[in-house]
Amino acid sequence: MIRSLSLVLFSGSLLFGQQLRVSSATAGSVQLEWTGATGPVTVVRSAGTAAQNLSTTDQAKFEDKSIDRFATYRYRVTANGRSSNEVTVGPPPGGVTNAAPVPQGVDPSKYGPASAVALDENGDPVIAFEWADPNGDNDFSKNEVRFVRWSRAEYRWLPPVRVQVVGEINSQNLNPLAVACDRKTGTLAIVTPVKGEGAVALVSRDGGKTWQGKPVPGISGAVYATAAAITNGTIHLVLGSEESGGHYLSGPVNDVSSWKDRQLPKAAGWKQPSGVNVALTVDQTGLAIAWYEDQEEGDQHRFMVWRPNGKAAVALEIAHASDSPAVAIASGGGKLGLLVAATVDEKDSDHGVWYTQSADGTSWSKPTRLSVDGPRTTNQPVDVALDSRGAIVAVFGSNGGTAGTACNYPALSRSTDGAAWKTCGPGKAEGADFGPQPATLHVIEAENDKAYVLWQEQTENRFRQGVLVWHER
């Protein structure tokens, strides 16, 4: 057996020294370099089972611009009938990967209890997440935010980078973190509360390797929720403050001190309570912001949607209080979709997640309830995404029930019209048993209409505990 292994090693590239590496890879170009080859070298690209000779060159490098930005490729070079090692390039593979495995000896519940996800300049996920009590001594004043991204060149998740020590922040049933990327320049931003007062905006211009932070201007009191997006160098930020309510800020992402602050519209007799998410989405007509509010002297509760150049509209009004209301908003296919965790039907306590949609942000459809594929409840955390055709993917928690599900978790439901839903989580299909109630849960649609789902996984499974990502195949 040892003699056979030696023959395999010395019959390949190690004997002849033809070593191939990826010097850079983006959604539009792959640059290859190699050493050890003599004479003309042929670059071979494979996709699936099909192989293609791209070029024969005397140079020790090659750039491939004829790529599909969402495809995965394998490359090798050949010379004199001998092949180099093979390298793989592309976006995250389909199925489940672990973007940030829990370090050895760390309590899984403290690694990723809050998170946020956005798409980078290549259309791949970038992730911000919280590490609570990183020293394991119950000192939550040292809680930190970390950043992780996918490398197409290395075809793996890069090691998480520590961005900021934030102290203890409230992440229970909330989205306190926001991450955003300028798709044109690759500039990244993370917004996070800091213990005590206000929030900080952190900006990276080198792909997330280093970060510079400044306080978000004009915000006082504890911040409990944030949401952000960057378009053409301008950041759009929504946050909730316990002292002053909801705020919308915008300005050049590279000049935090110049951001302009507007309070979310307040109607007479209504208040925006602390401890509920805020949400935003950017579509072809601009920005849409969503939040929850209570009637000050009455039993009504409602979810609001506002375009900053217009008036706020009531998307859903209900007569029953909810223990942990939540809201998420998304756009696609010419419509807005709103997913809420709320008691819409007081006689149906098992179904706490509902969806409504709009073509204009003013008139909203009758809400429909989402169910799990089993006798399970539906509840926060919630998130929603729409693809380019308007098809909907919703994710949510399921913290109770009399039995399990057919498809396992995370609970994921789909609809083409917002009325009929089919729920089937990815766990069983991926050969894993995931927990029904992640502390944090997100979904986002890539430009090729393939969804990414991000969640904190605390249970033992074949992908390990940590911040997991499922990429639709």
Segment 275-293, tens digit of pLDDT = 999 999 999 889 999 999 9
What is the mean predicted confidence (pLDDT) over 189-216? 96
- Continuous H helices in 382-438: none
Q: How many residues does the chain have?
A: 473
Q: What is the mean pLDDT of residues 249-272?
A: 96
Count CB neighbours of 218 within 10 A: 13
What percentage of the chain exceeds 70 in pLDDT?
96
List the end-to-end C-alpha distance of the chain, in Å, as a whole number.
Answer: 38
CB 225 within 8 A of CB 240: yes
Query: Which DSSP symbol is given to 258?
Result: G
Contacts of 334 (CB under 8 A, 6+ apart): 284, 359, 390
- Sketch out the chain's domains with CATH numbers: 13-89 (2.60.40.10), 95-471 (2.120.10.70)
- In what helix (H) or strand (E) does residue 8 lie, and over which residues does it extend? helix 2-10
pLDDT of residue 18: 78
What is the pLDDT at residue 17?
64
Closest CA to 241 of 191, 281, 305, 287: 191
pTM: 0.95
| Token couple for 369 | 């309830």
Contact partners, residue 92, CB within 8 Å, separation at least 6? 124, 125, 150, 157, 452, 469, 471
Tracing tokens 């829990």 back to the chain, one arrives at: 102
Instruction: Select from 443, 444, 442 the least CA-distant residue to 112.
Output: 442
The distance between the two most distant Cα atoms of the chain, rounded to a whole number of Å, is 84
Cis status of the peptide bond prior to 160, with omega within 30 of 0: no
Amino acid symbol at 371 = S
Whole-angstrom distance, CA of residue 228 vs CA of residue 235: 7
Angle at 398 between CA 397 and CA 401, to 5 degrees: 175
Separation CA 146–CA 152 (nearest Å): 20
Q: Are strands 312-318 and 301-306 parallel, antiparallel or unpaired?
A: antiparallel
pLDDT attached to residue 220: 85
Task: Please check the confidence at residue 9 and state whether its pLDDT lies above 80.
Answer: no
- Kindly indicate the confidence band of residue 328, based on its pLDDT and cuts at 50, 70 and 90: very high
Q: Is the pLDDT of residue 6 over 60?
A: no
* Integer Cα distance of 353 and 350 in angstroms: 9
Identify whether the C-beta of residue 392 lies closer than 8 Å to the C-beta of residue 386: yes
Contacts (Cβ under 8 Å, ≥6 apart) of 139: 133
DSSP designation for 158: P
Identity (one letter) of the amino acid at 7? L
**108-161: per-residue pLDDT in tens?**
999 999 999 999 999 999 999 999 999 999 999 999 999 999 999 999 999 999
- For residues 64 and 45, the answer to whether their CB atoms sit within 8 Å is yes
53 and 64 in contact (C-beta within 8 Å)?
Answer: no
DSSP characters for 33-96?
A: EEES--S-EEEEEEETTEEEEEEEESSSEEEE----TT--EEEEEEETTEE---EEESSPPSEE
DSSP one-letter code for 257: G
pLDDT tens for 14-69 read 334 679 999 999 999 999 999 988 789 999 999 999 999 999 999 999 999 999 99
Task: Tell me the pLDDT tens digit for each residue of 338-377.
Answer: 999 999 999 998 999 999 999 999 999 999 999 999 999 9
What pLDDT does 16 receive? 46
pLDDT score, position 80 = 87
Structure confidence by residue, pLDDT tens digits, 391-442: 999 999 999 999 999 999 999 999 999 999 999 999 999 999 999 999 999 9
Look-up of token digits 């389909």: 94
Whether 4 has a pLDDT exceeding 70, the answer reads no
Structure letter (DSSP) for residue 363: S
Mean pLDDT score across all residues of the chain: 94
Contact in structure between 231 and 216 (CB atoms under 8 Å): no
**Confidence category of residue 8, pLDDT binned at 50, 70, 90:** very low
Is residue 196's pLDDT more than 80? no
